[in-house]
Structure 1
Amino acid sequence: MTEQVEMDHPGEGRLAHADSDHPPVVSHAKVGVVLANLGTPDATDYWSMRRYLSEFLSDKRVVDYSSWLWQPLLQGIILSKRPFSSGEAYRSIWNTEKNESPLLTTTRAQTDKMRERLKALYGDDVEVDFCMRYGNPSTRSVLNRLKERGCEKIVFFPLYPQYGGPTTATANDQAFRVLMEMKWQPYIRTVPAYFEHPAYLEALTNSIKEAYEGLETRPTKLVASYHGVPKRYLMEGDPYHCQCQKTTRLMREKLGFSKEEVDTAFQSQFGPEKWVGPQTVDHVAELAKQGHKHIAILSPAFSSDCVETLEEIQEEIYESFIEAGGETFTYIPCLNDRDDHIEALLQVVNNELAGWL
């Protein structure tokens, strides 16, 4: 039997037979859905970039060197210089109209569409929001806000198709850290990798077909460029590299392309370690030298266009290809807030909501 609740404010009240000093309780339990992305600096100035990079590069999931070795190097040499170059990269892609990064703009748009779709299915029983692992809105602020709104159960959805320790795992870590601070924790489900989900592959191949239809010259190579990781991560059991390779294969098979038409490469390498390869920036130059003058490139591991795609691919990697003799370089945007992408994410979320609504 449900305890009668006397409403003090919309959505919360006091138990009818409780003492007068009893804290407010929610009148109707809801389910929260949180879309979690990597993060974004608040601005492109030196100190904003330094705060963001310090949080990001201090994460043991991202750089797992001993703190006594890494932190003096990071806080000294690296963060004295890198905020300038990273700020310049962000300024080249910044959404000046909204004064925010494109990643923030797109993640908000994805959340708005997801909220609309879930409201049509479940009414007011579901609250939808988004958070960033680094920067704002923080995981802590969003999970606390959903709990205050009466979400006793939460589906936490890191927006990474392929599971990786430096991406999916650290997003989940942060969510669990927030729960550790709560007296009354909501139940939580974390969403698994969805790189082989049929709806995700459908959206991915749709984006490629649409891009190819608008080209005068068909590319002789399609390059799937994923964010790289040190090879050591693969050897220590991280499935990311293998899931990237499988994504490319499933995508190629669905498109009906031959093995010779599609390559897998990895970008954004830094530091002295050996990383999984080939490196995209070098690979596209080698393709041009081999006679592949017309290529297309996409980033299946990114759910939203960001500095790695808008600046690194479309500037640095593009220049590497052209300087090596390439002629046509076609960048196929991330799935962003395409309707078929939102449908794919919705199917994944609905699977995790099973039994809760």
Structure 2
Amino acid sequence: MNNNKKQGVLLVNLGTPDAATPAAVKRFLGEFLHDKRVVDMNRFLWCPLLHCAILPIRAPKVAKLYQSVWMDEGSPLLVYSKRQAKKLEATLTIPVELGMTYGSPSLRSGVDALLAKGVEDIIVLPLYPQYSGTTTAAVVDGLAKVFKQVPVVPGHRVVRDYHNHPLYIKALAATVRRSWENNGKGDYLLCSYHGIPKRFADNGDIYPRHCQVTTELLAKELGLEEHQIGMTYQSRFGREEWLQPYTDKTLETLPSNGVKKLDIMTPAFSSDCLETLEEISDQCKETFIEAGGESFNYIPCLNDSDDHIAMMVSLIEG
């Protein structure tokens, strides 16, 4: 950040529906699942399937799930993202705007807001600790489209990943320790990461390697042995094989292997959202308890914690 150009920050996350309604969810999923970075099927096959079958069936179901986690101020992901941007701007004292890859506020609106404030150099921080072509690369694609529409392309730097950043690992560890202090220490700490199709990793996506490194560094920071911590992948979609082991299948077997009290966290998510508050905290808890588990403790995302903001400052100033 040592130059004479006015700088600003664009915080980026995946996005969320504008409302917990079937129509809003359908619009959001339609944009999300149209991205070839997310679904790379032949368009002539995928688009009719998406619009004629998947969205009409899936949108009402997903809308009900969103209703179960919706906050007074809106979608949890958007609420926490706004809080992060506000705290980060107060700390840095330079403009900080929020942009989503899909939905609103859009990447275009975030860039426009920064340019309107006279920003000439943008630090883009995608809030994905582990790199994947399905997330971080999609942000880069989206920015390229935005920059095609502005008369003067601003200077910009994209923070590609921070899966092994010391302050990120320490922030994760701090949430675990706070949970242990408040709820007691479980028999096992499970790190559940958002999954991607195995085929993507086979074709070179480095995401699973980043997830593995994060888990190993967290274990070292917490002083956990191999039998006390593990990692799985959640949120698979469709019929093809995704990265394994799967979170839900693992939860079915842990109690029979002696894990009765479980701590679970989601290190790939920077903000609590549908996949953490409903899928993990509700659905996965039910799976674990039905399999014989006794205690299921979900450890929240970093959200707008001071440790998380300090890590962002380090990434931006670095």
Identity of aligned residues (%): 43
Equivalent residue in structure 2 for 1:208, among 176, 185, 197: 176
Q: CA offsets, 1:334-356, max 9 Å, x none? A: 000110111011100111xxxxx
> What's the secondary structure of 1:39's corresponding residue?
coil
Counterpart residue number, 2:82:
108
Deviation at 1:231, TM superposition (A): 0.7
TM-score, structure 1 normalization: 0.87
SS across alignment from 2:255 = helix
Separation in 1 of the partners of 2:311 and 2:114? Answer: 24
- 1:291 Cα offset (Å): 2.2
Unaligned runs of 5+ in 2: none
> Which residue of the other structure, out of 9, 14, 33, is the alignment partner of 1:57?
33
Q: Please give the per-residue CA displacement for 1:290-319, whole angstroms capped at 9, x wherever unaligned.
A: 221111000000000000000000111111
- One-letter amino acid matched to 1:304: S
Deviation string 1:76-120 (CA, Å, 9 cap, x unpaired) is 00011111111011000001x22x10111100000011000101x
1:187 aligns with 2:163: no
The reply to whether residue 82 of structure 1 matches residue 65 of structure 2 is no
Structure-2 separation of matches of 1:82 and 1:114: 36
Q: Could you tell me how far apart the structure 2 residues matched to 1:344 and 1:207 are?
A: 14
Select which of 20, 35, 38 maps to 2:14. 38
Q: Offset at 1:37?
A: 0.6
Q: Deviations over 1:260-285 (max 9, x none)?
A: 00011000011111111111011011
Q: By how many angstroms is 1:215 displaced? A: 2.4
State whether residues 29 and 150 of structure 1, in contact with CA within 8 Å, keep that contact through their aligned partners in structure 2: no
Taking CA–CA contacts closer than 8 Å with sequence separation of 6 or more, which of the two structures ends up with the larger relative contact order?
Answer: 2
The structure number with the bigger radius of gyration is 1
Measured in 1, the distance between the counterparts of 2:182 and 2:249 equals 27
**Match runs of 1:82-231 below 5 Å:** 82-95=58-71, 97-98=72-73, 100-119=74-93, 126-216=94-184, 218-231=185-198
The one-letter code sitting in structure 1 at the alignment partner of 2:161 is A
**Residues 188-244 of structure 1, C-alpha deviations (whole Å, 9 max, x = no match):** 11112101111111111011111011224x311100000001111111111101100
* RMSD after superposition: 1.1
Equivalent position amino acid for 2:117 in 1? R
Counterpart-to-counterpart distance in 2, 1:223 and 1:329: 11
Q: In the comparison of the two structures, how many residue pairs are matched?
A: 315
- Map Cα deviations across residues 114-144 of structure 1 (whole Å, 9 max, x no partner): 000101xxxxxx3111111111101011112
Q: Distance in 1 between matches of 2:250 and 2:149?
A: 46
Whichever residue aligns with residue 194 of structure 1, its letter is Y
User: C-alpha separation between the residues in 2 aligned to 1:223 and 1:189?
Assistant: 33
| SS of match in other structure, 2:193 | strand
The C-alpha deviation readout for 1:157-199, integer Å capped at 9, x for no partner, is 1001000111111012111110011221111111121011111
The TM-score, its normalising length taken from structure 2, stands at: 0.97
> Which portions of structure 1, spanning 4 or more consecutive aligned residues, are displaced by more than 3 angstroms?
none
Task: Give the 3-state SS of the residue equivalent to 2:95 in structure 1.
Answer: strand
User: Following the alignment from structure 1 to structure 2, what is the Cα–Cα distance between the partners of residues 70 and 239?
Assistant: 25
Question: Post-superposition shift, 1:145?
Answer: 2.0
Per residue, is there more strand in 1 or in 2?
1
Equivalent of 2:232 in 265, 274, 283:
265
Query: Is this contact kept in 1: 2:69–2:277, CA < 8 A?
Result: yes
Q: Does 1:248 align with 2:215?
A: yes
